[in-house]
Structure 1
Amino acid sequence: MQSFRSLVQQFEQRVSAPDLFPVHPQNLYDPCRYLLSLGGKRIRPVVCLMAHELFAPIKEEAWNAALAIELFHNFTLIHDDIMDKAPLRRGFPTIHAKYGLTAGILGGDAMSIYAYQALSRVTTNFREVLDVFNTTAIQVCDGQQMDMDFESRNDVSSEEYIEMISLKTSVLLAASLKIGALVAGADTQAAEALYAFGKHLGIAFQLQDDYLDAFGTSKIGKQVGGDILANKKTYLHIQAVDHAASTQLASIEAWQDRHDAPEQKVTAMLDIFRDTQADEKCREAVAYYSGKAFEKLSEVSIPEDKKANLHSLAKDLLYREQ
Structure 2
Amino acid sequence: MFQELVHAKAFQNYLEKAHFPQAPQYLYDPIRYILSLSGKRIRPLLVLMGAELFDKSVVEQALPASAAIEFFHNFSLIHDDIMDVAPLRRGKPTVHQKWNDNVAILSGDALLIKAYQELAKCPTEKIPSLLHLFNVTSLQVCEGQQYDMDFEMRTQVSEPEYIDMIRLKTSVLLGCALQMGAIIAGADERSQTLLYDFGVNLGIAFQLQDDILDVYGNPKSFGKQVGGDILSNKKTILFIKLQELISLTDQEELDCLLRQSVDVEPKKVEKMMNLYAKYDIQTLAIYQKEKFTTIAYEKLTEIQVEAGQKEALFSLANALMHRVR
Report the TM-score when normalising by structure 2. 0.96
Superposition pairs of residues 192-207 of structure 1, within 5 angstroms: 192-207=193-208
Q: What's the counterpart of residue 315 of structure 1?
A: 318
Matched-pair identity in %:
47
In the TM superposition, what whole-angstrom CA distance separates every residue of 1:150-193 from its partner, at most 9, and x where no partner exists? 00101100000000000000000000000100011111111100
Q: What's the counterpart of residue 100 of structure 1?
A: 100
- 2-structure distance, mates of 1:142, 1:300: 29
Whether 2:291 is the aligned partner of 1:292: answer no
| Cα pair 1:229 1:262 within 8 Å, conserved | no
Structure 1 gaps, min length 5: none
Superposition pairs of residues 39-58 of structure 1, within 5 angstroms: 39-56=38-55, 57-58=57-58
Q: Secondary structure at the match of 1:20?
A: coil
Structure 2 gaps, min length 5: none
In the TM superposition, what whole-angstrom CA distance separates every residue of 1:223-268 from its partner, at most 9, and x where no partner exists? 1000000000001000001100111111111101111256411011
Per-residue deviation, 1:129? 1.2
| Cα pair 2:52 2:59 within 8 Å, conserved | no
Q: What's the counterpart of residue 233 of structure 2?
A: 231
Deviates more, 1:32-41 or 1:122-131: 122-131
Q: What's the counterpart of residue 279 of structure 2?
A: 276
Whether 2:82 is the aligned partner of 1:82: answer yes
RMSD after superposition: 1.3
Residue from 245, 266, 272 that aligns with 1:243? 245
Q: Secondary structure at the match of 1:153?
A: coil
Number of aligned residue pairs: 321
Amino acid aligned to 1:125: K
Superposition pairs of residues 127-146 of structure 1, within 5 angstroms: 127-146=128-147
Whether 2:184 is the aligned partner of 1:183: answer yes
Per-residue deviation, 1:5? 2.0
| Cα pair 2:64 2:121 within 8 Å, conserved | yes
Per-residue deviation, 1:275? 1.2
| Cα pair 2:50 2:179 within 8 Å, conserved | yes
Q: Which consecutive segments of 4 or more residues in structure 1 shift more than 4 A?
A: none
Amino acid aligned to 2:118: A
Per-residue deviation, 1:81? 0.3
| Cα pair 1:170 1:201 within 8 Å, conserved | yes
| Cα pair 1:217 1:321 within 8 Å, conserved | yes
In the TM superposition, what whole-angstrom CA distance separates every residue of 1:96-115 from its partner, at most 9, and x where no partner exists? 10011111000000000000
| Cα pair 1:51 1:178 within 8 Å, conserved | yes
| Cα pair 1:16 1:36 within 8 Å, conserved | no
